[in-house]
A and B are shown apart, each in its own frame.
Chain A
Amino acid sequence: MPPPLLETQNLGLCLSGRWLFRNLTLSIPPSSFVAISGPSGVGKTSLIRILARELSATEGSINSCLHHGQHTSMIFQDLQLANGASSLTNALGGCLARHSSLRTLWGFPVHEKAKAMEWLTKFGLENKARQWASTLSRGERQRLAICRSMLSSPTLLLADEPVASLDSDWANRTLDILKYSQKERGGSLVCSLHDEGQVQQFADFALRLDWESPTQWTWEKISRSDG
């Protein structure tokens, strides 16, 4: 079995006196799609934020097994776009880490722009590239946030409800694109989903958190006939 991208040891989170989950020991295998599911408020967002190191766990540890040059990106639920900048500029935010501040002071390299346009096109935003992010609809903003994260070519992509505000057609297309783009570069996708149908259709593994008991989480391998 290939080495995992990320491991957790007995992870637990206690918020305002209530344990959301405890003793969570996982390993995220490479080239996999891990879905986190469970009812609203069960701690899906918190767990993803902990994995992204945006939030500290109450107990336990996280061990990143990424090599040099590999990294994690996160797609936030509240999107966090720059409203007064064009869709293209927002998407290009994903490539900033690859260039120095001096290089990006007067604009972006041509090849990055081309790559950003590719992503915008994949997500049906090619005609909105010059529009301010504030003028996009909620679903378009969601897809734009995904483009930005994908442009950073993450090995591990953490996504908090990435398809929550998309119609079912775009939701399926988006999960499909995310899954295969990640697998193509040997990366993984961890995302919270509330639709069981999507979990069954796309995920390789499902982590289900339990509302009643923080230790009763389950890890399930989802077998599909298409392999």
Chain B
Amino acid sequence: MNKQDLPWHSRFDLLGVTFLLFLAASLGALPSIQGSGRDLDYWGNLSHFVARFFPPDWSIFERTMYGLLETIQIALVSTLLAVILSFLISLGASRNVAPGWVLWPTRMLLNIIRTIPSLLWALLAVVIVGSNSLAGVIALTLYSVGYLAKFFSETFESTDLSSQNALKSLRASPLQAFQYGLWPNARPIIWSHCLWMLEYNVRSASIIGYVGAGGIGLHLKLYAESADSWNKFSLVLLCILVIVTVLDFAGEKIRKSIRDKLEGTPK
């Protein structure tokens, strides 16, 4: 069949159609973007504001490091808790493990958890346990469970089941077949997700302090609200940038090596 024989609409696949829709919708949304109506000197404001960021004030470096440390601790603890909870919940959300009456309520619950942004979880937690790092841990744990449990259940659903079945045919018990057949195939992917979540939580933990849930965000809030502290604010931002970049870089390296190893490049 040559090109002319194809019906006209066969040129539009899902990708093409959704791209056109996206383009049309974005252009259609342009008129809704309006300025304040006042006659402002945008560039002047920006340069004036940014200029006050420099040079960063290094005198607060040590204090900032303590704040960052607390941020990372919140991220670590909440990721660990979320991994444990997510593992259990994900079994209930996996089509190939759980029966239907467990599956749908669990998935619905996860959808609800994911609907609430981390900052809102932080606000809720601060209201309940007060303004401290425990609030941060609670907030990020709940927030992460929404994502991790979904990732885990998708991993269990997409994992190659053949080695589990092979072990069953060698008369292994269901638990043994899961532990030595399914789990080794799922583990590297699950570990990648955990690393990603940890990175993400360090980023989230930097901002939730803004509403009082511990960590470096509190410093950001203080400097942003006090007069002439933008050079301190910029130092905090700089430190967060360094940490996040390092984590991003390390996480990407580790995930790539896990992926390569699992996909198997014969040596």
Q: Give A residues with C-beta under 8 Å from B.
A: 52, 54, 71, 73-74, 76, 78, 80-85, 89-90, 92-94, 96-97, 100-101, 104-105, 131-132, 134-137, 148-149, 152
Among the listed A83, A85, A93, A136, which residue makes an inter-chain contact with B170, where contact means beta carbons less than 8 Å apart? A93
Report B195-230 CB contacts with A as 1/0, cut-off 8 Å. Answer: 000000000000000000000000000000000000
**Stretch binding the partner chain, chosen from B45-53, B111-119, B182-190, B243-251:** B182-190
Let me know if B166 and A76 touch, CB within 8 A.
yes
Say whether B180 faces chain A, with CB atoms less than 8 Å apart: yes
Please give the distance in Å from A60's CB to the nearest CB on chain B. 22
Contact across chains for A81 and B176 when beta carbons are under 8 A apart: no
Contact (Cβ within 8 A) B185 A83: yes
In the complex, which of the residues A96, A134, A149 contacts B264, with contact meaning CB atoms closer than 8 Å?
A134
Contact between B167 and A93 (Cβ–Cβ < 8 Å)? yes
B252 interface contact, C-beta 8 A:
no
Chain B residues engaging chain A, CB cutoff 8 angstroms:
160, 162-163, 165-167, 169-173, 175-177, 179-182, 184-188, 261-267
Distance (whole angstroms) from the CB of B237 to the closest CB of chain A: 39
A71 partner residues in chain B, CB cutoff 8 A: 171
Q: In the complex, what's the smallest C-beta–C-beta distance from B241 to chain A, in angstroms?
A: 34
Q: State A84–B264 Cα separation when bound (angstroms).
A: 10
Q: Please state if A82 and B262 are interface contacts (CB–CB under 8 Å).
A: no
Chain B residues with CB under 8 A of A81: 163, 166
- CB-CB under 8 A from B171, the residues of chain A are 71, 96-97, 152
* Alpha-carbon distance between A84 and B163 when the two chains are bound, in angstroms: 11
Q: Are A135 and B166 in contact (CB under 8 A)?
A: no
Rank and list the top 8 A-B pairs by shortest CB-CB distance, nearest first: A85-B184, A134-B264, A80-B166, A97-B171, A96-B172, A82-B184, A84-B184, A80-B162
Q: Beyond A89-B184, A93-B172, is A135–B163 a contact (Cβ under 8 Å)?
A: no
A74 touches B266 (CB 8 A): no
A84→B180 contact, CB < 8 A = no
| Of B167, B186, B262, the contact of A132 (CB 8 Å cutoff) | B262
For the complex formed, measure the closest distance between the CB of A217 and the CB atoms of chain B, giving whole angstroms: 26
What separation, in Å, do the CA atoms of A73 and B176 have in the docked complex? 17
> What's the least CB distance linking B13 to chain A, in Å?
32
* A101 and B176 contact, Cβ closer than 8 Å, known pairs A80-B162, A93-B170: yes
Q: Which residues of chain A are near B179, meaning CB under 8 Å?
A: 101, 104-105
B266 touches A135 (CB 8 A): yes
A93 to B181, CA, bound (A): 8
Question: Most A CB atoms within 10 A — which of B166, B173, B182, B188?
Answer: B166
- The smallest beta-carbon distance between A4 and chain B, in angstroms, is 22
13 contacts between A and B (CB under 8 A): A73-B170, A78-B162, A82-B163, A82-B180, A82-B182, A83-B163, A83-B264, A90-B163, A93-B163, A96-B180, A97-B171, A101-B173, A149-B170
Inter-subunit contact B184/A135 (CB<8 Å): no
Which residues of chain A have C-beta atoms less than 8 A from B185's C-beta? 82-84
Q: How far is the CB of B144 from chain A (nearest CB, A)?
A: 23
> Given the known A-B contacts A84-B188, A134-B262, A135-B264, are A93 and B180 also in contact in the complex, defined by CB atoms under 8 Å?
yes
Question: Cβ of B176: which chain A residues have Cβ within 8 Å of it?
Answer: 96, 101, 104
**Chain B nearest CB: distance from A98 CB in Å?**
9
